[in-house]
Amino acid sequence: MKKIDTNDPNWEKEAIRELAWGSLREQRRSRRWAIFFKLLTFVYIGVALWILADMPGLPGREATAGKDHTALIRLKGLIAEGATASAGKINKLLEQAFEDEHARGVILEINSPGGTPVEAATIYEKITSLRKAYPDKKLYVSVRDLCASGGYYVAAAADEIHAHRSSIVGSIGVRMDSFGVQELMKKLGVESRIITAGENKALLDPFSPLKPEQKAHLQKMLDQVHQHFIAAVRAGRGDRLKETDDIFSGLIWTAEEARKMGLVDGFKNSEQIARELIGEEEIVVLEPKKSLLQQLTEGVGDVSARALSALLRESDAPAPSLR
């Protein structure tokens, strides 16, 4: 509170003004803390309800036990270890879907530019294995925007592949990226000092020239992986595949064109596949199980953000604005 000068002839008015402002600030402070504790209470109640709702056998939990349905698994983004579409995560969901006797069929919804050959091949092999173990349960691929490279590697293992006519399909090839800046370094007067044990240990180092024999070695390696990819597509698509000179060249096509080549079977979306091909339009989406810690931190984070926003609005300091 500001010190009042009693020698000022208007000191009584100043004192009343300061008392009024002090009371107003105290009310604001009390309101902020009241909001904070109310929101904190809501956090605890929400977390408790979340945990209870996730426990089996309790009312309000969406359960599929005993109900026929179509299982849907989403493969989105890069197919790589540690990614959302890693072989470990996708294969667990595939096992869950095939082992569930009430899942009348499985849809693998793909929207992926590809990924690593090993991760894609691991999912392909899992689908092939599960289809043999459960011959009466079909797996259909539903392509969204993109099913290219490793994404198509996975799709080739399905009973059928369906897409939108404008979906992009293909890219049956293998690539390895690098670059060289040795000429630029010469112009700048920069010297590369790489010391190796093994004459090819610095293979693909951007500061060193690529030797012809090294390039030949890498090309041979890529060709081998490419042949693995081609063999998987041929095995998966069988007689439906109508091979052309460029089908395995790495080109991409719209699904409408890809169908003429036998890379796609039809133009049904996930709902149509469930209803018309599987015969069970009730779709249950299978997702990787989140740990309790992940669930709690996500829920608390959302509520905390709202609480912070409310406190900023009530504080004396100006709140951020987008206007």
Question: What are 57-94's pLDDT values in tens digits?
Answer: 433 334 455 799 999 999 999 999 999 999 999 999 99
- The predicted-structure confidence for 155-211, as pLDDT tens digits, reads as follows 999 999 999 999 999 999 999 888 888 788 788 888 888 888 988 888 888 888 888
Residues 6+ positions from 243 with CB-CB distance below 8 Å: 261
More reliable by pLDDT, 4 or 128: 128
Q: What sign results for the dihedral spanned by CA atoms 31, 33, 39, 42?
A: negative
Residue 3 pLDDT class (50, 70, 90 cuts)? low
Consecutive H or E run containing 266: none
What pLDDT does 185 receive?
79
DSSP state of 175: -
3-state secondary structure of 165: coil
Task: Tokens for 301, please give them.
Answer: 């984070």
Q: Over 70: is that where the pLDDT of 22 sits? A: no
Highest mean pLDDT among 9-23, 45-59, 92-106: 92-106
33-60: average pLDDT: 57
More reliable by pLDDT, 49 or 29: 29
Active-site residue flag, 186: no
Consecutive H or E run containing 161: strand 160-163
Question: Cα-flanking dihedrals φ and ψ of residue 93, to 5°?
Answer: -70, -40
Q: Over 90: is that where the pLDDT of 135 sits? A: yes
What pLDDT does 36 receive?
62
% of the chain with per-residue pLDDT over 90: 57
Which of 268, 301, 37 shows the shortest CA–CA distance to 160?
Answer: 268
Active-site residue flag, 201: yes
304-319: average pLDDT: 42
Task: Tokens for 169, please give them.
Answer: 């399909």
* Rounded Cα distance, 298 and 294, in Å: 6
Q: Of residues 86, 142, 149, 270, which has the active-site annotation?
A: 149
The domain 69-177+238-281 having CATH identifier 3.90.226.10: the answer here is yes
What pLDDT does 37 receive?
63
* Rounded Cα distance, 301 and 308, in Å: 10
DSSP state of 240: G
Q: How many residues does the chain have?
A: 323
Q: Over 70: is that where the pLDDT of 263 sits? A: yes
Q: Over 80: is that where the pLDDT of 289 sits? A: no
What pLDDT does 178 receive?
83
Mean of all residue pLDDT scores within the chain: 82
User: Where do we find the tokens 């293979």?
Assistant: 203
3-state secondary structure of 261: coil
